[in-house]
Structure 1
Amino acid sequence: MFARFKDVALLLGRIGVGVVFLAHGLQKWENGIDGTAKFFEQTGIPLPTLAAIFAIAVEIVGAILFIVGFLTPLVGLGFVVVSVGALLSVHLDNGLTGQGGYELVLVLAVAGLALGFNPGKLSLDHALFGRKREAKQLQDA
């Protein structure tokens, strides 16, 4: 019974983290690649157009993949890259807490990483890859 609760909790965590990244990605999409790149350039991010495309893709496509639980380790790493970029370029000077602080960025990065490498059984990753792995482990035991 505990395992079911664990898998539901992991699903809810993926949905929560995914929705936040999706919202930020949609904001960047609304600003457009050029607008996002201009902001990135002002904050000192190198290759701002490429970084804007990467951030928008990770935050929109990655968030959708994360919510359904597909390729979660890859998406989790993408979340970390985007979050570290935001932390270093925008939030670091504001400190951990307070207006513009990096506490949310930090939590999103580590939650994305943790959930990315443990998406639970209620994920496409488990349905497509995990069952085969479990069967092989039982066979080898």
Structure 2
Amino acid sequence: MSRPAAAPEKAPAAPARAYDIGLLVLRLALGLIMAAHGTQKLFGWFGGGGIDGTGQFFAATGYPSPRAFAVVAGLSETLGGLGLALGLLTPLAAAAVAGTLVNAISVKWGGGFFAPQGVEYEILIALTAVTLALTGPGRIAVDRLLPWLRSHRIAYGVAAIVLGAAVAGVTLLLRH
């Protein structure tokens, strides 16, 4: 009687720590960049226009109540960015960032694909935020301390992205 052939050995999977560190680096990069963009809109930091300058831009691109939309965009970017950086309410933070970027893509749409006039940067940011909403923040995140978010569920990510897309859609309808 012959023995069954042994299954080929699989390479060991990367330790979970490597994934968690990778997600932390991604969250910090995206989150802090978005928070900086938000503070440009809200406070004029980092060479931004503040509420007045951002409001003027929003008025020129067809948004009603441009100062109010400047505040909404600034808060979405700042709070969403900080939420991503901390890994706090990650699906909602990611949805805030992605929804804001949907509007940015709409504003820049006629400029082609490639930067600086095109939308490639905005698409990359939006899809990175969607990815974080779906994967979760990893174990090095404040979400791990919240009992109801300890185990990331894809349903949370999907629901948050649907919410972000719906709010972005309503915002775009108001723009025209």
TM-score (structure 1 length as normaliser): 0.85
The aligned counterpart of 1:26 is 39
Are 1:106 and 2:119 matched, yes or no? Answer: no
- Tell me, what secondary structure is at the counterpart of 1:5? helix
Q: 1:44-66: CA deviations, max 9, x gaps?
A: 23432221111111111221121
CA contact (8 A) 2:76 2:97 kept: yes
The aligned counterpart of 1:40 is 58
In 2, Cα distance between the equivalents of 1:67 and 1:22? 9
CA contact (8 A) 1:66 1:116 kept: no
Name the count of aligned residue pairs: 132
CA contact (8 A) 2:115 2:121 kept: no
Q: Unaligned stretches of 5+ in structure 2? A: 1-13, 153-176
Residue type at the aligned position of 2:19: K
- Which one has the bigger helix percentage? 1
- Tell me, what secondary structure is at the counterpart of 1:97? coil
The aligned counterpart of 2:174 is none
- The runs of at least 4 consecutive aligned structure 1 residues that moved more than 2 Å come to none
Q: Percent same amino acid among aligned pairs?
A: 33
The aligned counterpart of 1:11 is 24
Residue type at the aligned position of 2:109: L
Residue 121 of structure 1: CA displacement? Answer: 0.8
The aligned counterpart of 1:63 is 81
Are 1:92 and 2:105 matched, yes or no? Answer: no
Q: 1:111-141: CA deviations, max 9, x gaps?
A: 112113311111111221344x48xxxxxxx
In 2, Cα distance between the equivalents of 1:66 and 1:35? 26
CA contact (8 A) 2:79 2:93 kept: no
The aligned counterpart of 2:144 is 126
Residue 96 of structure 1: CA displacement? Answer: 1.1
In 2, Cα distance between the equivalents of 1:50 and 1:68? 27
Residue type at the aligned position of 1:75: A
Residue type at the aligned position of 1:110: L
Which has the larger Rg?
A: 2
Q: Unaligned stretches of 5+ in structure 1? A: 135-141
The aligned counterpart of 2:100 is 82
